[in-house]
Amino acid sequence: MRRSFVTSVAASTLLLAAACGSSDSPQAPANEGSTKVTVGIIPIVDVAPIYLGKEKGFFASRGIELTMEAGQGGAAIVPGVLSGQFQFGFSNVTSLMIAQSKDVPIKVVANGVASTGKSGADFGAVAVKGDSTIQSAKDLVGKKVAVNTLKNIGDTVIREAVRKAGGDPAGVNFVEMGFPQMPAALAAGQIDAAFAVEPTLSAIKAAGGRPISWVYADVAPNLTVAVYFTAKKLIAENPDLVKRFTEAMNESLTYANGHPDEVRKVLTTYTKIDQKVIDGLTLPVWPTEINKASIETLRTLGEGDGIFEKTPDLTQLLP
């Protein structure tokens, strides 16, 4: 029964497609036609504002016909933005700093999601099985830990948590795995711990697992975790579209922050998460302002871990 339950919970984290609607937002100029825009996203709780903004008409009112397409992580979305497959993308800031360190011509246009800053009440953590001997980040040394993308924000914040707990992060064995696969892999003993964000974190807890390190909250106060970005080519060729997208995204972030019940409701339009899981989710926060100091902290940690080819130039990356 436990295996069946875990499998069903893990399956509930498989995430699907979209929503639409209307609102009283400022109308797009009459002489502008509707512009089709595709955004590369990671279909997790973090991106609820963009789905809510589409449902409320914040994008349509600015002449944007919005479509979302899913990727496993920011590192996979960056090439899609550069190729024109996506006009905009959602990515954690470490992926974008890695790209910028390689002189990839991208730029952040809007905030994405931030940590609550509360250890014990955040939307991301390292979690283990209920009966695991792992009690703190220090115990991750010598263990197999799943992250959704290697050499990225997950292993960066975990390494820092291990260091702060008095362990040697060089001894952690990271493996790459999609968020939806983590609960079942953890239950089967294929991994010892998982870097999980909502709804995967709640799925693990529902199966009897427990968080042992609140890595986002513990690395930097109110950490900016992810942002929306585009190619510099699009900024040069269509600055008006970028402006309209940014305005709609900021309106969506503000609305989501003020309407948590509607955030939980919109999750049912692009996920197959069980309602009980949705009701118990710890939501992140969605400020419109980017916490640049926290990104500088991630840059310093990433440099120490050797994940950048050269120091990322945040003046080129951030607005």
DSSP string, 1-52: -HHHHHHHHHHTT-B---------PPPPPTT--PEEEEEEE--SGGGHHHHH
Q: How far apart are CA 235 and CA 133, in angstroms?
A: 51
User: What pLDDT, in 10s, does the model give residues 48-78?
Assistant: 999 999 999 999 999 999 999 987 666 779 9
Q: Is 100 within 8 Å of 316 (Cβ atoms)?
A: yes
Tokens of 276: 């009980």
Picking from 236, 292, 263, the residue whose alpha carbon sits closest to that of residue 111 is 292
Which residues, including other chains, have CB under 8 Å from residue 103's CB and lie 6 or more apart?
A: none
For residue 309, what pLDDT is reported?
Answer: 87
- SS3 of 244-287: the string is HHHHHHHHHHHHHHHCHHHHHHHHHHHECCCHHHHHHCCCCECC
Q: What is the dihedral of CA 234, 236, 237, 240, to 10 degrees?
A: 80
Q: Is 107 within 8 Å of 317 (Cβ atoms)?
A: yes
For residue 126, what pLDDT is reported?
Answer: 98
Residues of the chain with pLDDT under 70: 1-32, 72-74
For residue 177, what pLDDT is reported?
Answer: 94
For residue 23, what pLDDT is reported?
Answer: 34
Q: Is 140 within 8 Å of 170 (Cβ atoms)?
A: no
For residue 74, what pLDDT is reported?
Answer: 65
Residue count of the chain, please give it. Answer: 319
Cα distances (angstroms) measured from residue 147 to each of 131, 246, 267: 21, 30, 23
For residue 270, what pLDDT is reported?
Answer: 85
For residue 73, what pLDDT is reported?
Answer: 64
For residue 274, what pLDDT is reported?
Answer: 81
Q: Is 158 within 8 Å of 182 (Cβ atoms)?
A: no
Q: Is 263 within 8 Å of 283 (Cβ atoms)?
A: yes
Which spans in 45-174 are helix H?
48-56, 74-83, 93-101, 153-164
For residue 234, what pLDDT is reported?
Answer: 98
Q: Which residue has the tokens 């449902």?
A: 55
Q: How far apart are CA 177 and CA 189, in angstroms?
A: 14
Tokens of 246: 């940014």
For residue 26, what pLDDT is reported?
Answer: 37
